[in-house]
Amino acid sequence: MKVLLFGKNSQDIKELVENSGLQVTEQNPDVVISYGGDGTLLSAERTYPNIPKLPIRNSQFCNKCPDHQDKKVLQDLLAGKLNLNEYQKLHTSLDGKDLYALNDFVVRNQHPIHAIRFNVNGQFFIGDGIVISTPFGSTAYFKSITGGSFDEGFGLAFNNTTEKQNPVYFNEDDRVNFQLVRGQANLSFDNNPDIFNIAESTAVSFDLSDKKAKIYESSLRCPNCKVIRG
């Protein structure tokens, strides 16, 4: 099995990967090993879409349980013992570009001292913006706003609106229609460094796409692997 190592410290595990019987390559890998945290995984998916990802946390920032020690995870990969899950991505289109998010899309005020006025599916709001999240990303920004996560469809969280709003959940065939009525706003997604401006009166729609990320189960979501906060 050919694997590509991804992440700024990924060379730290190159010897271990090779000793596990895996072939390290830079072209046409069967699997991309994302060595780092959630941000590294998102970057790997953006750089190498459609290729299965094996996320492995950097051991400097995570105390791993026995089932998720690096050597065992690599051996399990080679032996075909890891479950490969598929996660549907969100889609939107802006300025003629199709954009896809594994975690979430975030629309928020460009200037923190000025709220924006906006419509969501025809309803008017004033606040900092919205977060549209997949189930995979619902444990991140969405959870920090709402206090909860979800397992199917996609979710909408309202960020610091003048009147507190409960999150809204949608089915696979639904769509969220956003329109900026007044103010200046930006669109960002996952950890992509590209930030897009949304002009006043611009309408942007969000829905689930047919594109999926393929991710092997590993320590990223293991409750027994303790992330070290530094």
Residue numbers annotated as active site: 38
Distance CA 122, CA 148 (A): 25
CA dihedral 186→189→194→198, nearest 10 degrees, is -20
| Largest pairwise CA distance in the chain | 58
Distance CA 188, CA 99 (A): 10
The two tokens of residue 100 are 């896809």
Q: Are 39 and 191 in contact (CB under 8 A)?
A: yes
Helix H or strand E segment including 69? none
> How many other β-carbons are positioned within 10 Å of the β-carbon of residue 96?
5
The two tokens of residue 45 are 């998916």
For residue 56, give the nearest of 192, 67, 47, 48 by alpha carbon.
Answer: 67
End-to-end CA distance of the chain: 35
Distance CA 201, CA 118 (A): 9
Residue 147 CB partners (closer than 8 Å, separation 6+): none
Helix H or strand E segment including 194? none
